[in-house]
């Protein structure tokens, strides 16, 4: 197994930013799913749209984490390559 680390460190600031971005994604998914809920009661529509948006927001969070680690690793490899030259 490779011992190369990605160089990505989780900080309190990055965790808060991730939570805010995921909450925004959840809200957008909820608004997107609202017209597809089979009900006329606004509370029921919001509940089911929000409940349906949870896995979509969780997938967004996972993709965000993978993107950040991959991006940081690419930067680190590029920097190491530049240092060798």
> How confident is the model over 10-45, as pLDDT tens digits?
899 999 999 999 999 999 999 999 999 999 999 999
Residue 59 is assigned to a structural domain of this protein: yes
Residue 3: its pLDDT value, please? 60
Residue 7 is assigned to a structural domain of this protein: no
> What is the Cα–Cα distance from 79 to 8, expressed in whole angstroms?
14
C-alpha distance from residue 1 to each of 5, 26, 31, 67 (Å)? 11, 36, 44, 21
- How many domains, in total, are found in the chain? 1
Residue 1: its pLDDT value, please? 44
Residue 34 is assigned to a structural domain of this protein: yes
> How confident is the model over 46-67, as pLDDT tens digits?
999 999 999 999 999 999 999 9
Mean pLDDT of the chain: 91
Residue 4 is assigned to a structural domain of this protein: no
Residue range(s) defining the domain that contains residue 30: 12-84
């Amino acid at each position: 197994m490779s011992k190369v680390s990605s160089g990505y460190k989780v900080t309190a600031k990055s965790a808060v930013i991730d939570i805010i971005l995921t909450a925004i994604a959840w809200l957008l998914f909820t608004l997107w799913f609202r017209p597809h809920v089979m009900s006329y009661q606004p509370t029921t529509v919001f509940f089911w749209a929000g409940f349906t948006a949870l896995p979509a927001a969780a997938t967004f969070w996972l993709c965000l984490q993978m993107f950040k680690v991959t991006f940081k690793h690419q930067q680190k490899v590029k920097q190491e390559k530049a240092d060798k030259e």
